[in-house]
Structure 1
Amino acid sequence: MADDQARAIETKPNRMTGGDALVAGLHRWGVDTLFGVPGVQLDEFFDGLQRNGDGIRVLHSRHEQGAAYMALGYAMVTGKPGVCAVVPGPGLLNAGAALSTAYATNARVLVLTSTVNSAMIDRRQGALHEINDQDGLLRSLTKWSARATHASQIPGLLDEAFRQLLTGRPRPVALEVPPDILAQTGFFAYPQAKPALTNPAADPAAIERAAELIAGAKNPMIIVGGGAQEAGAEVRELAALIQAPIVSRHMGRGVVRSDDEYSLPAAAAIPHWPDVDVVIGIGSRMTQLREWGSDARLKVVHIDLDQSEITRIAPPAVGIVADAAPATRLLVDAIAALNPSPAPRTAEFAAIRAAFREEVAAEIQPQVGILDVIRAAMDDDDVFVDEMTQVGYTSRYALPILAPRTYVNSSYQGTLGYGFATALGAQVGAGKRRVISVNGDGGFMYTMPELATAVLHNIPLIAIVFNDGNFGNVRRIQANKYGGRLIASNLHNPDFVALATAFGVKGILAEGAEGLARALEEAKQADGPVLIEVPMNLEKTPSPWKHVHGRKVR
């Protein structure tokens, strides 16, 4: 649909179906990409896309989990809403792991789904794709969900869905439209004005209290999470003003460059946690307070859009409910007015970074060497998507991240198998930037059929599969904790290069870090998707977990 047609539908009543109204709303909110799997309950919506969807690229996957993961990857890399459409019941359940991951990672994912026909809802008569309490399921996986009971409700509900996505703490939202409502025809329109997108403003009194506390600190630390991804400049200015290290774990990676003189990996910061007197948490759940320990001497300043996060682990000395960038800007200005003059500490931070790097490079091989090869093949703004695999775990602290939204992780959900399909969506969102996906052989097979999707839609993802023939973590735990009693941890794998070739994907076998370096150079010259298989020996791959898990030190 041309832009002028879309605007006409928005602002004056037109005869259209519920499916048309849904498509018009996607145009209204600037959606240009939709991931999905069609099915009978969504037929009217997909027909609306066919007739009126000019400007919306529809990428259909081989499985609903693939579609939802792709929306997740798109959202995490762009910061914009990632939209997916899946049929109800089993289709929605298939998408559930991706929605739970979007919830954990604070990703703006909109899932459009359907139900059984309106008259059959909650009747338990065995209608196609019927499950009990589908709306209850959605409520448990999303920030907000709703169901349209008449096509005229769709404009208001879709506007509210986007308002929920774009204000407050980002998390997935869902809209259910029964198939008979998608088919319903009527005269209706979107309001001329979109709903206001506002977030709470920082309380000036709280800013002043926080500034005074921080300005008096002897050994401050800044901890950033995923909520600070758009606040890098302000966080960096705050660090320089108060001479504090900027500490990030997986979700906060890229807020400030890993090679910045104030940046520290979380694992490197743990030994220094007992000396911190004021910690400033910005867009972070601040799990360090629980994992690393806390005492009366530690004062906490916590900036977050979610009031419940600020007090979840422990009440802070000062809590500031606001978006990270504007609140940190106010804090910087308030501290600067107090004229603090801390001694320079960048040499201290450099020594900590160097010692930590030397330690992990000596202990965690071949993973660190492999990550060095991958980083060398990437531009600063290329994207890395991790997985639940030995190289992926190590990347959380050993792979330098040099730009915001270029490190994709499943946060506390730890979603085995999410990576490959998520990386496909990330590549769509990244455009001409390259995305590199690392996978274990176990996790890759979860969404392996999406190789067909990569070829069909010409998504030029570089996917690396590390093949050790095991669910590595499971086998390691069984060997170490249960006296070597192994069960259900070994895998039978295909020839991954031959598998890729069968799908029409360029397949490359790479032996070791040197072979991977050559393979990555070859992959970067390819026009379409590439799969690189790297054989690994689990017995010769040390555990990376020493530096992943926090430990109590105060």
Structure 2
Amino acid sequence: MTSTTPISGGEAVVRSLIVNGIDTVFGLPGIQLDHFFNALHDHGNEVRVVNARHEQGTAYMAFGWAQSTGRIGAYAVVPGPGILNTTAALSTAYGCSAPVLAFTGQIPSDAIGRGLGMLHEIPDQLGILERLTKHAARIDHPSEAPRAVAEAFRQLRSGRPRPVALEVPMDVLAMKAPVGDPILGAPDPAPTLDPDQIEAAAKLLGQAAQPMIFVGGGAYGATPEIRELAAMLQAPVVSYQNGRGIVDERTPYALNHSSGNEYWGDCDAALAIGCRMQIERTFWGLDDSVKVIHVDLDPTEINRVARPAIGIVADAGDAARALLDALPAHNRRRESRADELAALRARHHDKAVSAVGPQMAFLGALRRALPDDGFFVDEFTQVAYVARIGFPVYAPRTMVTPGYQGTLGYGYATSLGVQAANPDKAVLSVSGDGGFMFTASEIASAVHHKLPVVAVVFADGAYGNVLRMQKELHDGRVIGSRFTNPDFVKLAEAYGADGRRAETPEALEIAVREAFAARRPTVIEVPVGEMPEPWPVIRPAPSKPKRTE
């Protein structure tokens, strides 16, 4: 049905966003988005606008919202330099398969592609967005908004979730026209399971002597089924960055990456669900002794790293439930491996403490201070690197990472999006001084929006990993890796946040606990020196083909 009362293009877009479940938009207004923000203002009781101090902050916040909830995170920025400032966050969302909607304006429609030098004009903005997203489109008339927005949400909700983008010329946002009712962007049906593949996979897993399960971000929706499969097979569950906490890492059946590598040496069947399994098959070794069953919603992922024994294109939950039904007919009698796995975990914990003791001590303090259901947002820094194997995660989605994109500087702004999406939960951001300064201005946003994130900044005055490589791999050619820091306590206080300093793990634990109790934005500076290299612990030597002692 078409409304007889003309409405603006901005109003048409906002109505469609609301129908599709968007209740929060992270954004920065500007002239090309005036009529979009006017519509957001008029729908103030239905959509919250969370602004930031830089466009990259809005996009990282939307990413944090999406990763911590599984719901669509939306952000809006002006075109040209505005949308370009968000591309690191877009690439991170793409790499992590996060459902993020990027909305941007455009120059006037009659000037697009003419090179007139209009404000914020860049060559082929839509083409740039098409290369960073799963789907990108332009709305050329208000009447197109319902269908175009619905298609964007269909893309977000169908198949492998990845970011999408919409752009609207500024004159179209201002134009008034009759517009049809908003349309719900319903997801496409999930792929139909092949019962023969499920039966073959159940038989392979059931007959295996030492099966393993590997999970990534695509497996969050199958958490109960994966836990049941692990118990049925007495199989440990391994994840690297995304996918952590699908199995509570206090239990024996969750192995971190270093202990998982050792167990892999005798593995004869591996079930990979919603993950690329790239690190394991690339760095742990792969031979004919292990048969891989790869379950993924993205058909292009099945054979990307290596061809599996069985490739199943399916929703993770559908496939896991089908395997649970089929497995009992084939599963061998299995004794509990809980004690064996607990001993393996303990041995590798001790190895980590021996190799990277300072990082492990700080991580232990942070884990004790963070409530069980709190969120840990990492960064590319020495302590957070070790968190991949040294920080136990208790529930799915409570550890947020940039995945393989490795986006230095993403962490603090992302943590604000996590907090906005989870207002009653504790959120801990762990950064180095280098990465933190990328979005440190968002302390102002945390204060303005009363987002009580606790940010721990390990300060060594250097891009530590780069500095180590320059010294050890490049004959001491130290260049561009050291810098001068502000006083982070005073910086936080200047923005109106709480500032603290802690120099030991014990002091850090107390400071974090007190900050969470205060429920105020807080920055805790931790002065540190150079730390032991983490990579031999995080990326151990291959265990397959099985080494002879």
TMscore range, shorter length: over 0.9
Alpha-carbon distance between aligned partners in 2 of 1:339 and 1:315, rounded to the nearest angstrom: 25
1:549 to 2:539 alignment: yes
Determine which of 537, 540, 545 is the counterpart of 2:529: 537
1:205 to 2:196 alignment: yes
Aligned to 1:190: 181
Shift of the 453–204 alpha-carbon distance from structure 1 to 2, 3 Å rule, reads same
Aligned to 1:301: 293
Aligned to 2:332: 340
Where 1:142 maps in the other structure, the secondary structure is coil
Alpha-carbon distance between aligned partners in 1 of 2:316 and 2:251, rounded to the nearest angstrom: 20
1:249 to 2:250 alignment: no
1:103 to 2:94 alignment: yes
Deviates more, 1:369-378 or 1:183-192: 183-192
Q: Is the 8 A contact 2:2 2:178 kept in 1?
A: no
Aligned to 2:473: 481
Aligned to 1:265: 256
Aligned to 1:367: 359
Aligned to 1:400: 392
Q: Is the 8 A contact 2:157 2:187 kept in 1?
A: no
1:502 to 2:494 alignment: yes
Q: Is the 8 A contact 1:230 1:404 kept in 2?
A: no
Q: Is the 8 A contact 1:23 1:53 kept in 2?
A: no
The 5 Å alignment of 1:20-419 reads 20-190=11-181, 194-287=185-278, 288-419=280-411
Give the AA of the match of 1:252: G
Q: Is the 8 A contact 1:509 1:534 kept in 2?
A: yes
Alpha-carbon distance between aligned partners in 2 of 1:339 and 1:492, rounded to the nearest angstrom: 60
Q: Is the 8 A contact 1:282 1:302 kept in 2?
A: yes
Alpha-carbon distance between aligned partners in 1 of 2:2 and 2:47, rounded to the nearest angstrom: 20
Deviation at 1:207, TM superposition (A): 0.6
Q: Is the 8 A contact 2:238 2:255 kept in 1?
A: yes
Where 1:449 maps in the other structure, the secondary structure is helix
Q: Is the 8 A contact 2:384 2:430 kept in 1?
A: yes
Deviation at 1:198, TM superposition (A): 2.4
Give the AA of the match of 2:72: P
Shift of the 444–318 alpha-carbon distance from structure 1 to 2, 3 Å rule, reads same
Determine which of 423, 427, 430 is the counterpart of 1:438: 430
Query: TM (normalized to structure 2)?
Result: 0.96
Deviation at 1:338, TM superposition (A): 2.8
Where 1:190 maps in the other structure, the secondary structure is coil
Q: What's the C-alpha RMSD, in Å, of the aligned pairs?
A: 1.4
Q: Is the 8 A contact 2:159 2:188 kept in 1?
A: no
Where 1:507 maps in the other structure, the secondary structure is strand
Deviation at 1:274, TM superposition (A): 2.7
Q: Is the 8 A contact 1:156 1:190 kept in 2?
A: no
Shift of the 14–167 alpha-carbon distance from structure 1 to 2, 3 Å rule, reads farther
Give the AA of the match of 2:206: A
Give the AA of the match of 1:337: A
Alpha-carbon distance between aligned partners in 1 of 2:186 and 2:204, rounded to the nearest angstrom: 38
Deviation at 1:193, TM superposition (A): 5.7
Deviation at 1:55, TM superposition (A): 2.0
Deviation at 1:551, TM superposition (A): 4.2
Shift of the 492–196 alpha-carbon distance from structure 1 to 2, 3 Å rule, reads closer
Tell me the alpha carbon deviations over residues 499-536 of structure 1, each in whole angstroms, 9 at most, x when there is no partner.
11111011011111111112112201223201111101
Tell me the alpha carbon deviations over residues 471-514 of structure 1, each in whole angstroms, 9 at most, x when there is no partner.
10111101111222211111101111001111101101111111
Deviation at 1:286, TM superposition (A): 1.3
Alpha-carbon distance between aligned partners in 2 of 1:11 and 1:514, rounded to the nearest angstrom: 64
1:516 to 2:508 alignment: yes
Tell me the alpha carbon deviations over residues 300-333 of structure 1, each in whole angstroms, 9 at most, x when there is no partner.
1011100001111122111111111121011011
Q: Is the 8 A contact 2:19 2:184 kept in 1?
A: no
Tell me the alpha carbon deviations over residues 112-149 of structure 1, each in whole angstroms, 9 at most, x when there is no partner.
01111111111111111111121111111111111111
Aligned to 1:3: none
Alpha-carbon distance between aligned partners in 1 of 2:292 and 2:509, rounded to the nearest angstrom: 44
Alpha-carbon distance between aligned partners in 1 of 2:423 and 2:163, rounded to the nearest angstrom: 23
Alpha-carbon distance between aligned partners in 1 of 2:43 and 2:72, rounded to the nearest angstrom: 20
Give the AA of the match of 1:359: K
Which structure 2 segments of 5+ residues have no match? 545-549
Query: TM (normalized to structure 1)?
Result: 0.96
Deviates more, 1:196-205 or 1:44-53: 196-205
Where 1:188 maps in the other structure, the secondary structure is coil
